[in-house]
Structure 1
């Protein structure tokens, strides 16, 4: 119960000898606690339940949170716990656990939301429930099956799962029920990447095209709405959140710039980016952070942030070990993670810094990191023979972090 000055006065009537610090008003205790450092706050938390609750409040830890690179997510942890986990990130304190083992070497892709993790295994997209400790529970009844060939990549949005396959088909399911909605043969070669916006599917392929297809064709329109001729193999693509722009990442060969921005409605080229990149410096992954900011990474060992309003690269981060960047993930704030081709290595970047914050070796193997996802507590890393979880809520120290 919150104490007031009147309550303290009443306690004084009883006698000074019976008064303790807990008899002070809450705002006075908060003022005292605001002068303490972190070790002192920790000792205060060991005294009693009442002082522990006050010393653990967000108002006390707000100023300390500004000193840590806290990853932004929808986690409901207290600021105190977020600071603790952020310190574990900074000091390389984590435990690594193998969650999924692959019987053969794969090129897996994964997607993660608050409660589920989706993982491609050959011609199946497997679904796992994420438990409170970050571990996974397989739900074989919800696996998405149907492709005849291996799944290249897939995306989950708005209770829809859409994948591109090795035989050029694009398939879609209702995620919650697992009901197959469509199966279209769109490309003559691997459908390497897909994205969805409202009722449209956008897919890119090794056949050098990006195709825009309706998930709900009617009698007045063809199922295939547009074919965008990129001129080089398409390895990645992304659709902006407002649905007006499509970014495609190509192999960078044949004189084609590695990044092309298209108008989704007209199919016209808005801009071509990266014309100064080396030949073959293809873009392997990309993400829209906002309707007009785009992150890309690829064979040229660089992570780039593009501003599509000015059609310029506003920030560039270079992988120090000269390794190709296979994938990226972002918290849409300051934290970016990239997976490299070098021995299971992932790297953490901060938009406010020119150099990487940290490097993590995962998996104890020579596999590239084909896909990854992260939040403030865990990072999931997809390798050729396994998928691992890196748990930063654990106090254990892993010396493979640099």
Structure 2
């Protein structure tokens, strides 16, 4: 009786492509979509492929593309929602549908006119709304499935930052206040709490538990720049970062769990805080090698951090298990530009600069990017 090697090969191929075979390996790699809690962020992609892409991220093997350009210097912000990339340009927000292997924008954007009279500073996406904060002090709530929109007024200066989870919105402003707003249908846009921070608020983030949120301030006064607040009562839970020097404002905050968060800002450090250990001092930190302010960070929920610098469009990849950065990419050469915002998927990293939107494709095509 002959042995059918074809059937054996098909069975072996089927087994080696099963996600259960690769899951343990993927959890040890960077940016495979498997978080520390075990959640799979990219279930549509085979884990085998994601492990391969992870090696490209680690080695800096990618192809750089300029997806969009504009003539006027802007302070753009982005959100990535599956195959749609939302990008703010001045007072408008465009929804770009990504297509093809290169994940390029398809044609002109579907513009969402925000109703702001000045530039959009930040915006956030929920399942039901696109919520934008502007230099005019307004917060606009656009329903994502119809033309309905509502306006929240309360801040008397520009709203620098905003976040939303569940049925609440948190905003921070140059007017030295943070505000908590209702997103529930029966109280939509109602201000629930106004919190005096006594300093300009540069960043806010709601914790995954949705019971607390963090504010990052300019650190111009004699207060720790990072504070945790209760959402229900609007009261402070803890003051973090008492060792920060004056002016070392916190520009971005990313929660990893209800007790663990990452921050970056003018002090040129990425800091990792664990509130269960101590709120006074970070448990880990990574210094930007060129002593540049860090405008933005994003984490894969496991081992990787991506950071955007204030000069020459520098994006760095970090492994939290190591002390130095893994890779450095220079996205702006002719004229220096900060990386105002970055977002990534399993295969691409998108960076918003002053005059362009750049993408790094990590699926392996093209020459290896130089450090």
Q: Name the counterpart of 2:17.
A: 57
Count of residue pairs brought into register by the alignment: 359
Task: Note closer, same or farther for the CA distance 1:255–1:278 as it changes in structure 2 (3 Å cut).
Answer: same
Q: Is the 8 A contact 2:171 2:180 kept in 1?
A: yes
Q: CA deviation at 1:63?
A: 8.0
1:168 counterpart = 2:137: yes
**What's the Cα RMSD here?**
2.6
1:2-401 alignment, distance < 5 Å: 10-11=1-2, 22=5, 26=8, 50=10, 53=13, 57-58=17-18, 68-72=29-33, 73-74=41-42, 76-133=44-101, 134-138=103-107, 140-141=109-110, 143-177=112-146, 179-215=147-183, 223-312=190-279, 313-364=282-333, 365-399=335-369, 401=370
Bigger mean CA offset, 53-62 vs 71-80: 53-62
CA distance, structure 2, for counterparts of residue 123 and residue 359 of structure 1: 32
For the residue of structure 2 that corresponds to 1:255, the secondary structure is coil
Q: CA deviation at 1:374?
A: 0.7
Task: Note closer, same or farther for the CA distance 1:210–1:311 as it changes in structure 2 (3 Å cut).
Answer: farther
Q: CA deviation at 1:163?
A: 1.1
TM-score by length of 2: 0.89
Q: CA deviation at 1:263?
A: 1.0
Render the CA deviation track for 1:107-138: whole Å, top value 9, x for unaligned. 10001122211101111111011224221225
Task: Note closer, same or farther for the CA distance 1:264–1:60 as it changes in structure 2 (3 Å cut).
Answer: closer
Q: CA deviation at 1:61?
A: 6.2
Render the CA deviation track for 1:44-101: whole Å, top value 9, x for unaligned. xxxxxx4993695347767875775353241533344223322322332211111121
Give the structure, 1 or 2, with the largest relative contact order (CA under 8 Å, sep 6 or more). Answer: 2
- Report which of the two has the higher share of helix: 1
Task: Note closer, same or farther for the CA distance 1:142–1:314 as it changes in structure 2 (3 Å cut).
Answer: same
Structure 2: 5+ residue runs without aligned partners? 34-40
Larger of the two Rg values belongs to structure: 1
Q: CA deviation at 1:153?
A: 0.4
CA distance, structure 2, for counterparts of residue 343 and residue 384 of structure 1: 10
Render the CA deviation track for 1:144-181: whole Å, top value 9, x for unaligned. 4321111000111122111110011111111233x243
Task: Note closer, same or farther for the CA distance 1:71–1:168 as it changes in structure 2 (3 Å cut).
Answer: same
TM-score by length of 1: 0.82
